[in-house]
Every structure is written in C-alpha cells, then in structure tokens.
Amino acid sequence: MTLEDLQPAATTAVSYSTDPATASRELRDSLHNPHLGFVLFFCSAEYDLEALGAALQTEFAGVGLAGCTTAGEITPQGYGQGCVTAIGFDARGFAIEGQLVKQIGRFSLTDAQAVVEGLTAGCRARNLAPIKRNTFALTLLDGLSSQEELFLVALNSALGSIPNFGGSAGDDIHLANTHVFFEGRFHTDAAVVLLFNTRCDFEVFSSHHIEHPGEKMVVTGADPDSRTVTELNAEPAALEYARVLGVEVAELDYRAFALNPVAVRIGDDYYVRSIQRVNPDLSMTFYCAVEKGIVLTAMRPGAMLENLDAEFARIEQAIGTPRLVIGCDCFLRRLEAEYTGLDGVTSDYLQAHRVIGFNTYGEQFNGMHLNQTFTGVAIGGYRHDRR
C-alpha cells in the first residue's frame, strides 16, 4: 500500500455549536481516524473556555491537542465567527511535538535552546523523516502579552534553519483576555511552540498588500513597554495621525486603522505597525513594538485578493496545489474586507484554497512580529524521497 492509498495527511472540521460538549463531539466525529496523531484548533473567545478545554481533552484523549482563541475563525467554509475549527493530522504523515512556555517575557535564549532540543528529540524519535528540510515550527502567543518580539528573537535563534510562523491569539476584538491551549487547559501570558516533522511538501510564507507609501511621521514620544506612542512629529499622536488622514480624532476607529495603516521601512520593505486604540490622552497604543525615533509611513492597502493570487501562484510553483493551508490572518485584513464589501468573495477565496486558521492580533514569521499580513504554511502532498 502506498501513501496515496492512505487517508489524507490532514483533515479539517468546524462546529458552530455554542455548547462546548456538543462542539467537541462534532469535531471528534468529523476528524475520526484510527491514526489521528494531533489536533490543532482555533476557537471563539465567547465559549466557556474551561468547559471547552475539558470537553476537547475528553473527546481527543490520547491525542496531542493545542490551540488558541481568535478574533475570528477561518473554517472549511471560509470565514467563521463564534465557532471552533480544527485540523486533524495523521500520524503517518506528521510527527508533532509541542511545548508550553509560561511567562513569555522571561523567555531567554537558553530557554529557547532547551525547548527546541526537546521538541526536535521528540520528533526524531518518531523516525518519520529527517529533521532538516522536513520540519517547520508554529507558534501561538498570548496576543495581549506585549512580549512577542523578545520571545520570537530567542526562539528563532534556537530554531536555526527551521522555518517558523504563527499568530497571536485574539478575543473577538474585546482586548481583554487572549488564551492559548496546551496540556488540557487554556493559559494567558503564555506561548505554545509546535514542531511539525512531515513527509509532506510544505512552504512557509508571509504576504501583505499594503503599499502606496505617503506622508512620514517621526515618533517623538513613546513608552516602548506598553507599545504606546505619545507624540508624532512633536504633536499629540492621535492629532497628528488624524491630520495626516484628513479626519477628526473622533473618526479614528478600526475602520480608519484597517484602511490607513502605518509602517516602518526596513531596507526596501515596509512592515506594518498596526494601531490598537486611541487613548483618552491622545496617545495611541500599537499591536507591535514601537520606540522613540522610528519613522512611521502612512500607507494604503492595495488589492488583497490579487496579492493572495500572486502568493498562491508562487506557492504552487514550489510545491504544487496545496492540500491544506494553515493561515494566520490579521483581524484588520478581515475588517478591511468587510468595510470594502469584499468579505464574501474573500471568504470564498479562502475556502477554495483550503485555508484553515484564525484572525490574529499579530503574526509571526521567521522571528519577526508582524501586523496586517497573511502568514502561514501551505502543505502539499506526500514526498516519497523523505525517508
């Protein structure tokens, strides 16, 4: 029997039941496979998380299980809201090891090396495929920790040549509590690191459609610890941002943030620094690291679907048509699609390209913390030469 005769290396499911026990049972029924080795899930923060965690642990007893809360789900039917979506990985195609990291602000390079060594040893013991060129890492981080950058730098250094990506957990845009799930329960101020060793082709990627740079603003006042900018161009931050946009401060909401992002230029590339909120003192809090002296450039979104088309064309050249894409898609991209009336066609596009994932409070790609990107891994068919 060849690998092609076996079940797919990964299967997907979604439940819209608001009852944790029912939702967990529906996922189990959809993902049932005698060779099921690991389940990755993404859920609305509206669930009773303690009950959902217990129910999932019961239904998938003996199977590796990890996940996080979201700012929106990406399901087998496209965009979802208020649901839980999941991916089941066949142990014959994937060896997956995970580690929970608590208090991520204290995560050192030594800690990262210990985590990576443990995960690598666990995958290697499965004897599925050589680690080199057959392995990628996925990180799920507390999206309100404000510690992503230091954590990712340490982890990326320890991973070496292993590509890595991930997303920051959301909470349906309440900005109150975001959670990651591992070891049977949900956690805050924590990260989950998953190492995927596979016999399948894959391509880790990150893409964005933000372009058309405009006016520049210098950060002249900031509190890096809270990711808050107090002044732009020596003016109260919100006043100056509103001036550049040509709107009133009262109009600075998620719509303004999604359609008028700001970015830092590094080399020839621009990286978005998404705005989380305007504060009563007219300072602005960001989702990514900001500090005094950096230059923020006002940007405009390009064509999101055309950008995705180009990225998927590149991926297909590399690995063929993906069987599955695990996608970490910034929640501001989803809001942009809604504001521009393209949410339906975007949802259909994600469904057609077999994307499962979630809307994030930030994305991670090879050690970088990003905003307003579509970041993930495209997984293709089995490779026969990987043993």
Residue pLDDT, tens place only, 256-293:
999 999 999 988 889 999 999 999 999 999 999 999 99
Judge whether 3 lies within some domain: no
* Residue 295 lies in domain: 210-301
Judge whether 115 lies within some domain: yes
Position 203 scores a pLDDT of: 98
Judge whether 1 lies within some domain: no
Q: How confident is the model at residue 8 (pLDDT cuts 50, 70, 90)?
A: confident
Nearest partner of 67 among 234, 209, 184, judged by Cα: 184
Do 114 and 17 reside in the same domain of the chain? yes
Domain of 285, CATH number, reads: 2.40.30
* CA separation for the pair 208, 211 (Å, rounded): 9
Do 189 and 328 reside in the same domain of the chain? yes
Kindly tell me if the per-residue pLDDT of 6 is higher than 70: no
Judge whether 62 lies within some domain: yes
Judge whether 19 lies within some domain: yes
Share of the chain above pLDDT 70, in %: 97
Kindly tell me if the per-residue pLDDT of 38 is higher than 60: yes
Do 22 and 127 reside in the same domain of the chain? yes
Distances (CA, A) of 30 to 14, 27, 73, 85: 8, 5, 17, 11
Burial of 184 (0-12, 13-18, 19+ CB in 10 A): exposed
Q: 49-59 and 20-31 helices cross at what angle (nearest 10)? A: 30
Judge whether 2 lies within some domain: no
* CA separation for the pair 247, 241 (Å, rounded): 9
Distances (CA, A) of 377 to 47, 92, 149, 256, 319: 27, 19, 21, 29, 11
Residue written as token pair 């954590």: 151
* CA separation for the pair 143, 130 (Å, rounded): 33
Position 89 scores a pLDDT of: 98
Number of H helices, E strands in the chain: 9, 28
Q: Which helix (H) or strand (E) holds 355?
A: strand 355-360
Kindly tell me if the per-residue pLDDT of 355 is higher than 90: yes
Q: How confident is the model at residue 5 (pLDDT cuts 50, 70, 90)?
A: very low
Do 53 and 140 reside in the same domain of the chain? yes
Last residue of a domain, one of 301, 335, 366: 301
Do 244 and 190 reside in the same domain of the chain? no
Q: Which residues are bridge partners to 96 per DSSP?
A: 196
What is the sign of the dihedral through the CA atoms of 266, 336, 163 and 115?
Answer: positive
Residue type, 313: A
The predicted model scores a pTM of 0.95
Do 78 and 113 reside in the same domain of the chain? yes
Report whether 71 contacts 358 (CB < 8 A).
Answer: yes
Nearest partner of 377 among 163, 191, 134, judged by Cα: 163
Find all residues with CB under 8 Å of 293, minimum gap 6, and list them. 218, 219
Judge whether 142 lies within some domain: yes
Residue type, 364: Q
Q: How confident is the model at residue 386 (pLDDT cuts 50, 70, 90)?
A: very low
* CA separation for the pair 258, 326 (Å, rounded): 23
Take residue 167 and report the two structure tokens written for it. Answer: 């997303």
Last residue of a domain, one of 270, 286, 301: 301
Do 83 and 185 reside in the same domain of the chain? yes
Q: How confident is the model at residue 384 (pLDDT cuts 50, 70, 90)?
A: low
Do 47 and 161 reside in the same domain of the chain? yes
Last residue of a domain, one of 273, 301, 329: 301
Judge whether 5 lies within some domain: no
Kindly tell me if the per-residue pLDDT of 2 is higher than 90: no
Do 281 and 358 reside in the same domain of the chain? no
Position 147 scores a pLDDT of: 85
Do 194 and 135 reside in the same domain of the chain? yes
Segment 39-65 shows an average pLDDT of 97
Report whether 98 contacts 191 (CB < 8 A).
Answer: no
Kindly tell me if the per-residue pLDDT of 45 is higher than 60: yes
Q: How confident is the model at residue 146 (pLDDT cuts 50, 70, 90)?
A: confident
Domain count, the chain: 2
**CA-only gyration radius of the chain, Å:** 20
Kindly tell me if the per-residue pLDDT of 220 is higher than 90: yes
* CA separation for the pair 246, 340 (Å, rounded): 19
Q: What is the pLDDT of residues 84-111, one digit of tens each?
A: 999 999 999 999 999 999 999 899 999 9
Take residue 18 and report the two structure tokens written for it. Answer: 């608001």
Do 48 and 147 reside in the same domain of the chain? yes
Nearest partner of 137 among 34, 40, 44, judged by Cα: 40
Do 55 and 114 reside in the same domain of the chain? yes
